[in-house]
Amino acid sequence: MTDLPSPSGAPGGPPVGRPAGLPVGGPGGLPVSGAAGVAGQPITLRVGLGGSSASGSFFDRIGGAPTFDRLVRRFYEGVQTDDVIWPMYPQDDLEGAISRLSLFLQQYWGGPGTYSEERGHPRLRMRHNPFRITSEAREHWLLHMRDAVESLELAPLDEAELWGYLDRAAHAMTNTFD
């Protein structure tokens, strides 16, 4: 790898804030993707040009299928006590609902593709469309999911990444605005 120009524009000097002698890139000179120094842009260390993340998938990093199973079971414990959203769930097929949500989340976060193998494309909006999902229902869903996420005691950045997705997904499923 070549060094970036120095602050004066002369080639060969270390970039601003980078001690001389350190290679440009990640640890050991690994390629880095992302926009370094740009707020809100993640930096991902790659094992090679266009390769997988050096830190592994989120699925593996947080403990794989057992972690997602714990998350979903804790979530459904709360849902069963909720008068607003429990009626939307299949009480006669609770284990099926638990399995489907866990498999979907596992697949989304880099685990096995079992969900799609069994059910096809996730089509989340289509699958949720038959239900009247109001902002109140969304907030109840988020309340129980927040409790479930916190129960996992993930590393703060992993928790924030998971919660960010779940919050956005819940907002995207809202389909009734009265």
User: Pick from 105, 76, 117, 110: which is nearest to 93 by CA?
Assistant: 76
User: Pick from 122, 134, 123: which is nearest to 88 by CA?
Assistant: 134
Burial 3-16 (b: 16+ CB within 10 A, else e): eeeeeeeeeeebee
Cα gap 22→13, rounded to integer Å: 11
Cβ–Cβ < 8 Å for 78, 147: yes
| pLDDT given for residue 82 in this prediction | 97
- Residue-wise pLDDT for 79-88, tens only, equals 999 999 999 9
What confidence tier does 127 reach under pLDDT thresholds 50, 70, 90?
confident
Cite the DSSP H helix spans in 46-134.
58-61, 65-79, 94-108, 114-119, 124-128
Task: Indicate the range of 23-27, 53-57, 126-130 predicted with least confidence.
Answer: 23-27
- Residue-wise pLDDT for 131-140, tens only, equals 889 999 999 9
| pLDDT given for residue 88 in this prediction | 92
**For residues 19-23, average pLDDT:** 47
Helix (H, G, I), strand (E, B) or coil at 72: helix
Percent of the chain with pLDDT over 70: 69
Cβ–Cβ < 8 Å for 62, 154: yes
**For residues 47-57, average pLDDT:** 61
| pLDDT given for residue 122 in this prediction | 76
Cα gap 4→12, rounded to integer Å: 7
Cα Dmax for the chain? 71
Cα dihedral 33, 166, 95, 133 sign: negative
**For residues 122-133, average pLDDT:** 81
**For residues 166-171, average pLDDT:** 96
Cα gap 120→163, rounded to integer Å: 25
Q: Is residue 143 exposed (0-12), middle (13-18) or buried (19+ Cβ within 10 Å)?
A: middle
**For residues 132-158, average pLDDT:** 96
| pLDDT given for residue 39 in this prediction | 59
